[in-house]
Amino acid sequence: MTTTPDLATLTGEYTIDPAHTTIGFTARHAMVTNVKGKFLDFSGTLHLDGDDPSRSTASLDVTMDSIDTGSPDRDGHLKSSDFFKTDEFPKMTFRSTRAESLGGDDYRITGDLTILGTTKPLTIDLEFNGAAKDPFGNERVGFEGKADIKRSEWGLTWNAALETGGVLVSDKIKLNFDISAIKQG
């Protein structure tokens, strides 16, 4: 049963549950369709402050070799020196620098996203999906979030021109987050 408790009762340290969390993305391919993917190996923590949401923090570490688009050939290309250079840059990281309540169940978290050794600010709009105690006694919270980035800002510039005009891979990438986190202690 999902409830919306007094936010003060949610204050605490949380660990992101990778079995019930999706860190995903969507890119336009060949100017006509969307390719979706996700990362299968990641870890993260949240500090929620229900009395003062601006003191909440988030941290995420993603193993880039865990990229999964449903196509082993495409995944191999994404891991290569054309894109993520996973041998040289095995992790993508996010460290929050600011959190704010937008009213209701809406929040915004801003932080530093590091890809390929380049760190740029990223703002993620989040919706609080609720809190519940699961059948195993874990206190959980859920958030759903999204953000758009231009991959070129992180040095992800590989592309191929199309005969009909345009490019093979869009610069704009849509990020999506479905997060389930378990309260510690």
Per-residue pLDDT tens, the chain, 185 aa: give them.
343 446 678 899 999 999 999 999 988 765 567 889 999 999 999 999 988 889 999 999 999 999 999 999 989 988 988 888 999 999 999 999 999 999 889 999 999 999 999 999 999 999 999 999 989 999 999 999 999 998 888 887 766 554 565 545 677 889 999 999 999 97
pTM of structure: 0.87
**How far apart are the C-alpha atoms of 167 and 163, rounded to whole Å?**
9
- Sequence letter at residue 90: P
Q: Which amino acid is at 158?
A: W
The Cα–Cα gap between 157 and 161 comes to: 12
